[in-house]
């Protein structure tokens, strides 16, 4: 009997190890701590993929901050409402006048994040910036300014460390190229 959660060896190619990810997050936490020192910072995690990255990043940020979450959904190309993005869980905190840092697991097409930026700007934050663990510029359709990025990757499909395939493989402690079945 095979375990449906465990991908076969020919499906995964590790491209970022747990150690590489940990080192990069520590570096990012230090930079963010320096950049936002003395400012009222709100971290906004985009659910669900950002959770792994967000938790580890917050442990490396050494200044006070508030934490909130937002969830968005987008409809696939097969849907009648292709390209439509909507908020499925909104912020609980007010971001008016605060420095907001959106935490994402991956920025690729920029479609969802472009929508989110437009929406959050209407709430009058002092500033609004993006922090992502994985940046895939080759897939960008909508230009979004990524202020803090962990790793630039080519146009490959990856899983692990919050990134999923059909809601699976988020819990891998590394990031791997995944050859979908």
In a domain, 143, yes or no: yes
In a domain, 178, yes or no: no
Helical spans, DSSP H, in 36-127: 51-58, 111-121
Structural domain range at position 37: 19-75+82-153
The CATH number of the domain holding residue 144 is 3.40.50.2020
Confidence of residue 86 (pLDDT cuts 50, 70, 90): confident
To the query of whether residue 108 is one of the catalytic residues in this protein, the response is yes
| Dihedral, CA of residue 116, residue 66, residue 150 and residue 173, to nearest 10 | -100
In a domain, 168, yes or no: no
Here the tokens at position 33 are 């701590």
> For residue 99, how many other CB atoms are within 10 A of its CB?
18
Catalytic residue among 56, 68, 92, 108: 108
Return the H-helix or E-strand segment holding 22: helix 18-35
Confidence of residue 83 (pLDDT cuts 50, 70, 90): low
- Prediction pTM value: 0.88
Q: How many domains does the chain have?
A: 1
- d(CA 139, CA 174) in angstroms, rounded, equals 22
- Taking 60 as the threshold, does the pLDDT of residue 82 lie above it? no
How many whole angstroms from its chain centre is CA 61?
A: 17
In a domain, 88, yes or no: yes
In a domain, 62, yes or no: yes
In a domain, 137, yes or no: yes
- Taking 70 as the threshold, does the pLDDT of residue 15 lie above it? yes
If one compares 108 and 78, the residue with the highest pLDDT of the two is 108
Please give the pLDDT value at position 87: 85
In a domain, 103, yes or no: yes
In a domain, 61, yes or no: yes
Are residues 49 and 73 in contact, defined by beta-carbon separation less than 8 angstroms? no
């Amino acid at each position: 009997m095979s375990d449906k959660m465990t991908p076969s060896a020919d499906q995964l190619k590790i491209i970022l190890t747990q150690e590489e990810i940990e080192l990069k997050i520590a570096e990012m936490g230090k930079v963010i701590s320096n950049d936002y020192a003395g400012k009222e910072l709100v971290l906004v995690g985009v659910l669900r993929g950002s959770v792994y990255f967000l938790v580890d990043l917050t442990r490396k940020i050494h200044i006070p901050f508030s934490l909130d979450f937002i969830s968005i959904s987008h409809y696939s190309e097969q849907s009648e409402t292709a390209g439509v993005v909507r908020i499925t869980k909104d912020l609980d905190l007010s971001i008016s006048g605060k420095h907001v840092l959106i935490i994402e697991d991956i920025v690729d097409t920029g479609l969802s994040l472009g929508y989110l930026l437009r929406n959050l700007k209407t709430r009058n934050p002092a500033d609004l910036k993006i922090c992502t663990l994985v940046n895939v510029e080759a897939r960008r359709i909508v230009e979004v300014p990524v202020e803090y990025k962990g790793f630039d990757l080519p146009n490959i499909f990856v899983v692990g460390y919050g990134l999923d395939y059909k809601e699976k493989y988020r819990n891998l402690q590394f990031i791997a190229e995944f050859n979908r079945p």
